[in-house]
Amino acid sequence: MPQLRSTSTKVLLDGLTHRQKRTRKDASIDGNLENQRYEKKQKRSLAAYPQQMQEQVSKLVSDILASIYYDINYVCILRSSVRLNPTAENVAQYRLQFRESGDLLDRVVGRFINRDTSLHNGSEPKSYFNPRGTIRRLEEFVTIFGWKMLSICMAAEGFRRACREIRHSVIWAEVLEKMRENQWSIEVFARSRNLDWRGQLLKYAHLDLIPELGSELRPVRKMWGQHPHHVVQTLDKKVRRPMFEGMPQVHIDEPVFDPRNWQEDGRVEDPTARIPHDGDCDLCGSGDICDCVLDFSAGSLVELVDRPLTGTGVRALTSFKKGDILGQFVGELHHPDYDGDHLYSLMHASKTDSEYFLAIISPRKYGNWTRYIAHSCRASTKFNYRTVGRRTVMTVEAKRDIAPFEDLTVNYGSDYWARRECMCGETNCVSRRRRSQ
């Protein structure tokens, strides 16, 4: 989580701390009353700070949340590689990720047990004045979000660092608020990638001193076994499989060329196969057919979410820079005259001759996350024809910098909206302009 180390962040954290600095020694003099006063003061909301500082804090908090998704994804990739290839090195690397989190979980569980034991004894819980303490924060976190969420987040180094390194409670409060907004999203993200959050907690299952822990360990519906992009978060905070005309939509990584779809044409070769006329490879610059392949890791850091006006859409879970290639638009390849998909399909051409169509890419059944990108008349991404390795491909690229948690959008072109109503809400919206004419 490099963001926490940046100079501007340090200045920001110091600035906030400076205003309300108070030492642990001072505060511990008069115990609980002081503790309450201190916390009240600390809980001043972010709204009390200058606008510029508020913006910096929200950016920092977004970056922290994004780092949690990134780390969870990383741990899940590691887990898959351990399952597929359990070498000593892979196993050691995977275990390393859980060393610190296991230790912290032990301590938080210990805190809850001590708390309960002291209640059973009839004595007051031991006072622990340590507002900035990591364990204290984790304890608060469990109280708000529960053990499952703690176990999920604890797998992320970004979360552990935030607990340890954030110095001001206003920032920590903002992190908790952002967590609250994204709680279901984080859970779906972790569960659909098979994060072993239960395994981390199972060793405490026999401790019936913490009843909430037992109830959270009850088996939950499996979200794993399929591709993470077979999971859409619904408006009522559930999940569903994306469907088209009553059939489940299937994730694929590569376009599908089936000669049976080209019988009239008699074509037996994939029309997207690269020929010398398609120009140099956009990755290595070579004019010869090369073995380059696009890196699609960006697609691991997006999620599918239902939106009230526009149906299933795509939300970024990380930041993207202008020009980043986020993914490849894939689907079944059909003859350019194909008329069977008016919802998702796009014409494909070579970058050297964009007027000559090679195929229609139709992802209504087989496709990837890019088929769900909503239209906006002020879009954040664009489609591009590219030549990469052995293929001509259609990519989705960032038109500008994109912040974490923004919905990705692309411009479908004004023809698409000739007989449909665009709901993007932008001031330059094609349908809005039509209505006002």
Ligand X SMILES: C[S@@+](CC[C@H](N)C(=O)[O-])C[C@H]1O[C@@H](n2cnc3c(N)ncnc32)[C@H](O)[C@@H]1O
CB of 73 to ligand X, least distance (A): 23
8 Å CB contact between 116 and 162: no
Nearest to 291 by CA among 302, 276, 281: 281
CB of 423 to ligand X, least distance (A): 4
Who's near 2: CB < 8 A, 6+ residues apart?
Answer: none
Q: Return the number of the residue (111 or 371) whose C-beta is nearest ligand X.
A: 371
Q: Return the number of the residue (92 or 343) whose C-beta is nearest ligand X.
A: 343
Q: How far apart are CA 427 and CA 407, in angstroms?
A: 18
- 375: contact with ligand X by CB under 6 A: yes
- 243: contact with ligand X by CB under 6 A: no
- 344: contact with ligand X by CB under 6 A: yes
For the window 262-301, what string marks contact with ligand X as x by the rule CB under 6 A? ----------------------------------------
Map tokens 């005259």 to a residue. 337
CB of 354 to ligand X, least distance (A): 21
Q: Return the number of the residue (28 or 234) whose C-beta is nearest ligand X.
A: 234
Give burial (CB, 10 Å; 0-12/13-18/19+) of 94. Answer: middle
Q: How far apart are CA 135 and CA 287, in angstroms?
A: 58
Q: How far apart are CA 191 and CA 58, in angstroms?
A: 27
8 Å CB contact between 322 and 398: yes
Q: Could you give the C-alpha distances from 321 to 11, 206, 318, 417, in angstroms and in order?
A: 25, 48, 10, 29
8 Å CB contact between 396 and 286: no
Q: Return the number of the residue (160 or 375) whose C-beta is nearest ligand X.
A: 375
What is the Rg, in whole angstroms, of the alpha carbon atoms belonging to the chain?
A: 26
CB of 383 to ligand X, least distance (A): 12
CB of 405 to ligand X, least distance (A): 18
- 310: contact with ligand X by CB under 6 A: yes
Name residues contacting ligand X, limited to 397-426 (CB under 6 A): 422-424
8 Å CB contact between 76 and 193: yes
8 Å CB contact between 220 and 149: no
Q: How far apart are CA 204 and CA 217, in angstroms?
A: 10
Map residue 436 onto helix, strand or coil. Answer: helix
8 Å CB contact between 394 and 328: yes
- 372: contact with ligand X by CB under 6 A: yes
Q: Which of 284, 343, 414, 433 binds ligand X (CB under 6 A)?
A: 343
Stretch of 54-62, 162-170, 251-259, 304-312 lying at the interface with ligand X (CB under 6 A): 304-312
Size of the site for ligand X (CB under 6 A): 13
Q: Return the number of the residue (287 or 311) whose C-beta is nearest ligand X.
A: 311
For the window 108-147, what string marks contact with ligand X as x by the rule CB under 6 A? ----------------------------------------
Q: Return the number of the residue (314 or 393) whose C-beta is nearest ligand X.
A: 314
Q: Return the number of the residue (188 or 314) whose C-beta is nearest ligand X.
A: 314
Q: Which of 86, 211, 287, 311 binds ligand X (CB under 6 A)?
A: 311
> Quick one: which H or E segment has residue 186?
helix 169-192
CB of 221 to ligand X, least distance (A): 22
Q: Which of 163, 166, 179, 374 binds ligand X (CB under 6 A)?
A: 374
- Binding residues for ligand X, rule: CB under 6 A, are 310-312, 343-344, 371-372, 374-376, 422-424
